[in-house]
Amino acid sequence: MGKRIVITGVPGVGKTTVVNGALEQLKGEGIEYRSLNFGTFMFEVAEAEGMVKDRDGMRKLDRDQQKRLQKAAAQKMAQIPGNVIIDTHCTVKTPKGFLAGLPEWVLRELQPDMVVLVETDEDQILSRRLNDPTRTRDMEGSREIAFHQEFNRSMAAAYAMVSGCTISVVKNQDHLLEQAVARMADVLR
């Protein structure tokens, strides 16, 4: 049985860069991970069941349908052998507020070994977002980013309580990417 590691971080924190760096390093040591995306798994289940035709349809599902899909996606992921990384959000920001990215019914199916929080100072995240020309969403201020990261930590505590998973924090600070990659590799090793 492999490891199941959930990796989370607010937009702009540089999660993908850190993970890819760590996976490359681990590959050289003979440690392999398969990368999964939680949203993609949910969509595939929904499509296979004829619930949606495209990804846009996912937003129109009601709460019970969403819950059933989340559970089914988690079950499917839990059956994949070998080490897996699951890319998702610790909390999901919606126009009305925050949702748990891994609610209880997902955690009970998925049984992750670890939830990683990739973090850095809110000002650094703000500046990375401002410098990203592909970003089109409404801008948050640094206080909102700070709140989102703090709320992610609180949520992670609840995940650890109910699932027994380890909560790891990987800092991805400006000019210290190598350090972030090394820490992520440590955590995944």
What is d(CA 189, CA 186) in angstroms, rounded to the nearest whole number? 5
For position 91 contacting its own copies by CB under 8 A, the verdict is yes
For position 60 contacting its own copies by CB under 8 A, the verdict is no
DSSP 58: G
Q: Which stretch binds its own copies (CB under 8 A): 16-24, 37-45, 77-85, 93-101?
A: 93-101
Which residues pair with residue 28 across a beta bridge? none
For position 176 contacting its own copies by CB under 8 A, the verdict is no
Q: What is the CA radius of gyration of the chain?
A: 17
Nearer to its own copies by Cβ, of 54 and 62: the residue is 62
By rule CB under 8 A, what string of x and - marks binding of each residue 11-50 to its own copies? ----------------------------------------
By CB under 8 A, name the one of 159, 172, 184, 185 that touches its own copies.
159
Q: How far is the CB of 127 from its own copies (least distance, A)?
A: 21
Neighbours of 113 (CB within 10 A): 17
Helix axes 15-28, 177-188, angle to 10 degrees: 60
For position 78 contacting its own copies by CB under 8 A, the verdict is no
CB 104 within 8 A of CB 124: no
Nearest to 32 by CA among 82, 86, 77: 82
Nearer to its own copies by Cβ, of 117 and 126: the residue is 117
Which residues pair with residue 168 across a beta bridge? 116
Residues constituting the chain: 189
Nearer to its own copies by Cβ, of 1 and 134: the residue is 1
CB 5 within 8 A of CB 113: yes
Interface positions with its own copies (CB under 8 A): 63, 67, 91, 94-100, 102-105, 107, 113-114, 116, 147, 150-151, 153-164, 166-169, 186-187
